[in-house]
């Protein structure tokens, strides 16, 4: 443990299931969390909902704010993007000026509706690579959380799964692995940003499994030996 202050976290598109799930867990872990949305009203509604859930869980105090996406990105140290693939590029273009020198956690899964159970990766290889190319070297893009069942993330006890963490900069990956742990899961360094393709493709596989078993599946890494 060091005495460094915790980074301020923004979650863009933070009103969906995955965004609110992460917000709950990080807020409960003591982080200051900014929920970003396209409109301030939607973000405020998500914050009000979060406060209700925290009260139900008996959590005394959390630091959560609502902002529009660009303001949220500006105010934060680490910015997490949880928008649908179809909004990824536009949202990143909007907030790009606010991201220089920061970490962008890309949670985008390049699903192609209506066939979301079929792997259809983009030409660039992965949504993670699209984000890194769009934002340039000034921003450390880290891909994570694609295989976390959002419904489970919102519950108090959290999901039974691991998180694959990909990115080109070691320090940025390590910062995100810390956030994975703060959210109650194990994070694994899973390679450079190209390897985001694995986690993104796996989401369609988990959709197939969820449909068969009527469940919220995830993955765990096995065979680590004594680790």
Residue 141's φ and ψ, nearest 5 degrees, are: -85, 130
Residue 47 or 197 with smaller CB distance to a copy of itself: 197
Question: CB under 8 A: which stretch of 5-13, 131-139, 176-184, 213-221 binds a copy of itself?
Answer: 213-221
Question: CB under 8 A: which stretch of 6-14, 20-28, 95-103, 206-214 binds a copy of itself?
Answer: 206-214
Residue 84 or 158 with smaller CB distance to a copy of itself: 158
Query: 141 with 106: CB under 8 angstroms?
Result: yes
190 binds a copy of itself (CB under 8 A): yes
116 binds a copy of itself (CB under 8 A): no
The Cα 120–Cα 201 span in angstroms is: 8
The Cα 194–Cα 132 span in angstroms is: 10
| DSSP H helical ranges for 57-161 | 69-75, 85-95, 127-135, 150-154
Residue 35 or 196 with smaller CB distance to a copy of itself: 196
3 binds a copy of itself (CB under 8 A): no
213 binds a copy of itself (CB under 8 A): yes
CB of 132 to a copy of itself, least distance (A): 14
Tokens representing 7 are 């980074």
Binding to a copy of itself, residues 133-172 (CB under 8 A): 149, 152, 159-161, 164, 166
Half-sphere exposure (CA, 13 Å, Cβ side) for 207?
17
């Amino acid at each position: 443990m060091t005495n460094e202050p915790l980074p301020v976290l923004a979650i863009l598109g933070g009103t969906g299931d995955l965004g609110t799930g992460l917000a709950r867990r990080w807020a409960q872990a003591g982080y200051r969390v900014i929920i970003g949305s396209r409109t301030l009203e939607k973000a405020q509604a998500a914050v009000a909902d979060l406060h209700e859930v925290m009260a139900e869980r008996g959590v005394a105090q959390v630091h959560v704010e609502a902002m529009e996406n660009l303001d949220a990105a500006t105010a934060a140290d680490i910015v997490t993007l949880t928008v649908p693939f179809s909004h990824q590029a536009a949202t990143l273009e909007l907030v790009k000026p606010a991201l220089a020198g920061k970490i962008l956690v890309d949670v985008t899964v390049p699903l192609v509706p209506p066939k979301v159970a079929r792997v259809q990766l983009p030409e660039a290889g992965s949504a993670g690579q699209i984000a890194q190319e769009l934002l340039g070297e000034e921003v450390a893009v880290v891909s994570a959380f694609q295989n976390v069942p959002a419904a489970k993330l919102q519950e108090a006890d959290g999901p039974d799964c691991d998180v694959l963490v990909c990115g080109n900069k070691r320090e940025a990956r390590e910062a995100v692995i810390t956030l994975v742990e703060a959210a109650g899961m194990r994070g694994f360094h899973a390679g450079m940003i190209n390897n985001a393709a694995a986690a993104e493709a796996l989401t369609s596989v988990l959709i197939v499994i969820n449909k068969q078993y009527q469940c919220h599946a995830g993955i765990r890494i096995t065979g680590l030996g004594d680790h």
